[in-house]
Amino acid sequence: MENPSGTVPGHDNSGMSVLEQHVSYFDQDKDGIVYPWETYRGLRDLGFNPFFSLLIPIFINLGLSYLTLPVSYLLHWIVFCKYIYMYIT
Protein backbone atom coordinates (compact mmCIF):
# COMPACT_ATOMS: atom_id res chain seq x y z
CA MET A 1 0.00 0.00 0.00
CA GLU A 2 1.65 3.18 -1.17
CA ASN A 3 -0.45 5.70 0.76
CA PRO A 4 -1.92 4.19 3.90
CA SER A 5 -3.21 7.63 4.88
CA GLY A 6 -5.17 7.70 1.64
CA THR A 7 -4.07 10.99 0.12
CA VAL A 8 -1.12 11.29 -2.21
CA PRO A 9 1.36 13.99 -1.18
CA GLY A 10 0.58 17.20 -3.07
CA HIS A 11 -3.10 16.28 -3.64
CA ASP A 12 -5.60 18.90 -2.49
CA ASN A 13 -8.12 16.93 -0.44
CA SER A 14 -10.09 20.06 0.53
CA GLY A 15 -9.94 19.00 4.17
CA MET A 16 -11.96 15.84 3.49
CA SER A 17 -11.21 12.39 4.86
CA VAL A 18 -10.56 9.55 2.43
CA LEU A 19 -14.13 8.29 2.89
CA GLU A 20 -15.56 11.76 2.23
CA GLN A 21 -13.45 12.01 -0.93
CA HIS A 22 -14.77 8.63 -2.08
CA VAL A 23 -18.40 9.61 -1.46
CA SER A 24 -17.96 13.03 -3.08
CA TYR A 25 -17.09 11.28 -6.37
CA PHE A 26 -20.76 10.27 -6.59
CA ASP A 27 -21.96 13.82 -5.77
CA GLN A 28 -22.29 14.90 -9.40
CA ASP A 29 -23.48 18.47 -8.73
CA LYS A 30 -21.18 19.01 -5.71
CA ASP A 31 -23.99 20.12 -3.38
CA GLY A 32 -22.94 17.76 -0.58
CA ILE A 33 -25.86 15.38 -1.13
CA VAL A 34 -25.76 12.13 -3.11
CA TYR A 35 -29.09 11.25 -4.71
CA PRO A 36 -29.82 7.79 -6.18
CA TRP A 37 -29.58 9.11 -9.75
CA GLU A 38 -26.14 10.50 -8.97
CA THR A 39 -25.09 7.09 -7.66
CA TYR A 40 -26.46 5.57 -10.88
CA ARG A 41 -24.52 8.07 -13.03
CA GLY A 42 -21.32 7.53 -11.04
CA LEU A 43 -21.59 3.76 -11.42
CA ARG A 44 -22.21 4.11 -15.17
CA ASP A 45 -19.14 6.37 -15.40
CA LEU A 46 -17.15 3.65 -13.64
CA GLY A 47 -18.25 1.14 -16.29
CA PHE A 48 -21.00 -0.80 -14.53
CA ASN A 49 -23.78 -2.08 -16.79
CA PRO A 50 -27.22 -0.39 -16.67
CA PHE A 51 -28.93 -3.21 -14.75
CA PHE A 52 -26.48 -3.19 -11.83
CA SER A 53 -26.30 0.59 -11.97
CA LEU A 54 -30.05 0.65 -11.27
CA LEU A 55 -29.92 -2.06 -8.61
CA ILE A 56 -26.88 -1.00 -6.58
CA PRO A 57 -28.09 2.55 -5.64
CA ILE A 58 -31.09 0.99 -3.90
CA PHE A 59 -28.77 -0.73 -1.44
CA ILE A 60 -26.12 2.00 -1.25
CA ASN A 61 -28.46 4.95 -0.77
CA LEU A 62 -30.88 3.17 1.54
CA GLY A 63 -28.05 1.62 3.53
CA LEU A 64 -26.05 4.80 4.00
CA SER A 65 -28.78 7.43 4.10
CA TYR A 66 -30.27 6.72 7.51
CA LEU A 67 -27.00 7.19 9.34
CA THR A 68 -26.04 10.34 7.43
CA LEU A 69 -29.35 12.22 7.67
CA PRO A 70 -29.66 15.29 9.86
CA VAL A 71 -32.18 14.59 12.62
CA SER A 72 -35.11 16.48 11.11
CA TYR A 73 -34.68 15.29 7.52
CA LEU A 74 -37.33 12.83 6.33
CA LEU A 75 -36.16 11.70 2.87
CA HIS A 76 -34.39 8.37 3.29
CA TRP A 77 -32.88 8.00 -0.19
CA ILE A 78 -30.15 10.62 0.01
CA VAL A 79 -26.67 10.51 1.51
CA PHE A 80 -25.12 13.60 3.09
CA CYS A 81 -21.40 13.66 2.33
CA LYS A 82 -20.39 15.68 5.39
CA TYR A 83 -22.04 13.16 7.75
CA ILE A 84 -20.60 10.02 6.15
CA TYR A 85 -18.14 9.66 9.02
CA MET A 86 -21.12 8.76 11.23
CA TYR A 87 -21.54 5.56 9.23
CA ILE A 88 -18.24 4.14 10.47
CA THR A 89 -18.39 5.28 14.10
CA nearest neighbour of 42 among 55, 57, 32, 31: 57
**pLDDT tens-digit readout, 23-80:** 889 999 989 899 999 999 999 999 999 999 999 999 988 888 888 887 766 667 888 8
Note the pLDDT of residue 74: 65
Note the pLDDT of residue 2: 55
For the cut 50, the answer to whether the pLDDT of residue 1 exceeds it is no
**pLDDT tens-digit readout, 58-71:** 998 888 888 888 77
Please give the Cα distance from 60 to 71 (Å, whole number).
Answer: 20
Element (H, E) at 53: helix 50-68
Please give the Cα distance from 25 to 34 (Å, whole number).
Answer: 9
